[in-house]
Amino acid sequence: MFRAYLLACCLLLGLITTAHAQRKGDLFIRNGTVLTVTNGTLENTDILIRNGKIAAIGQNLKVPEGVEVIDATGMYVMPGIIDAHSHIAISNVNEATNPVTAEVSVGDVLNPYDIRLYRALAGGVTISHVMHGSANVIGGQNETIRHRYGETDPDALRMEGAPRTIKFALGENPTRVHGRGHNVPPLSRMGVEFIIRDAFHKARRYMEAWDRYEQERKRNPRAVPPPYNERLEVLADILRGNILIHCHSYRADEILMLMRVLKDFGIQRVVFQHANEAFKVAPELAAFGAMASVFSDWWAYKFEVYYSTAYNAAILTRNGVITSINSDSPELNRHLYHEAAKTMKYGGLTEDEALALITINPARQLGIEDRVGSIEVGKDADLAIFSAHPLSIYAVCKKTIVDGIVRFDADRDPDDMRLQVDPERPVELAIHWGDHQHGHRCLEGIDLIEFLTETLQSEWQ
């Protein structure tokens, strides 16, 4: 009886595992110009994809039987674009009830039906770092997702094995929401630093209490554990190096402040998001090993963002800071290849350096560079195929591939994917030209200008 029960449990576990296993595809991309990002540009080159992985790269490769072929002659193949700062595919952004909310996670509110996933695919974006908002000094945990649009299970969006990340925020946002909004700390920028230091001190004491308990339990199996606290567990994992910090920031003085705090607590990995004044402290960022994910040319939308420059990404790159360009927008993410191209004008970056800002560099910032971000044998087959060089203003994304599966195809793009439906918006009345009240005339075979003139004249009479 027990064996039968155990067998049933194993079968059920197998069904659950199968249900959550992601589909992987086989493809053959023929004769494209391959922009590897890390190993130069390869002309007239084929890419063989097997089970969602890049299996071979070269010229005149043999097409395995039964594998779909995409003719990329005259087109450009690049790694799938990675957006290091996004808020798409979630139903909530901020848990603004406390200046520290490390216990919450946007991964709990993923929405696989969000049409913005499809629209991001239309711009060659295959991965997004979906972030908690910037209301809190220490916000919630983020989620790195793959744009597997068409899947119905929210868990299908998660990038398996991606490192955990968390959102921090400096400056006006937390001081406005909590200090001025609820009269609780932080009200000032120095209050922001106190919140971070205090939270880490509490987490350190929490870790020490659990370490003492583990030692005591070896001697006394009946030892009583300290109270469990999910918030402090997450903060402790930051101190252990198990969670990467991505911090909303603008001003150079605050960027330096957080690096000092992190150094005091032995935390080595941080990505400064936005970081409009990072160019002022580029050598210090490089020395710390900090990274920066910036806008190409967004600024002046609030007071702390006035001191900015379009040369930010180039200055950081030239100083050895791993830099990416992000969208922070469901609209701009479709144009990240345009945003990257601006750095060739503002700073003179090379093509590969510009492309790295939206491929391998954000992959490094998310800790997934061994799997995506460049076109190399063994890496995941997340690719985008463009009609022209993606840094050209005339380039159009033709196909976007995730896990070796074509998730966007411009030649098969349904019209209704372009609609923005708001159920609360009043519907405008439309004239049915084929059965108009004045003469029941059909437009077919009738001059449109003549028809509209007659219609307007009859309406005025």
Per-residue pLDDT tens over the stretch 259-283: 999 999 999 999 999 999 999 999 9
| Interstrand relation of 68-71 and 27-35 (parallel, antiparallel or unpaired) | parallel
Neighbours of 437 (CB within 10 A): 9
Report the half-sphere exposure of 126 (CA within 13 A, side-chain side): 30
pLDDT of residue 414: 83
Four-CA torsion 262, 267, 271, 277, nearest 10 degrees: 20
CATH architecture, domain defined by 81-372: Alpha-Beta Barrel (3.20)
Q: What is the pLDDT of residues 79-119, one digit of tens each?
A: 999 999 999 999 999 999 999 999 999 999 999 999 999 99
Residue 4: pLDDT band with limits 50, 70, 90? very low
Residue 457: pLDDT band with limits 50, 70, 90? low
- Tell me the three state secondary structure of residue 393: coil
How far is 275 from 272, CA to CA, in rounded Å? 6
Residue 421: pLDDT band with limits 50, 70, 90? low
Single-letter amino acid code for the residue at 204: R
The answer to whether domain 1-79+374-411 has CATH 3.40.50.300 is no
Single-letter amino acid code for the residue at 245: I
pLDDT of residue 422: 67
Single-letter amino acid code for the residue at 196: I
- Tell me what the mean pLDDT of segment 424-447 comes to: 49
Closest CA to 401 of 377, 385, 379, 383: 383
Q: What is the pLDDT of residues 300-340, one digit of tens each?
A: 999 999 999 999 999 999 999 999 999 999 899 999 999 99
pLDDT of residue 119: 95
Of 9-13, 105-109, 333-337, 345-349, where does mean pLDDT reach its minimum?
Answer: 9-13
- Tell me what the mean pLDDT of segment 232-239 comes to: 98
Domain ranges of the chain: 1-79+374-411, 81-372, 431-461
pLDDT of residue 356: 98
pLDDT of residue 443: 43
Of 5-14, 133-142, 185-194, 249-258, where does mean pLDDT reach its minimum?
Answer: 5-14
Threshold 0.85, pTM exceeds? yes
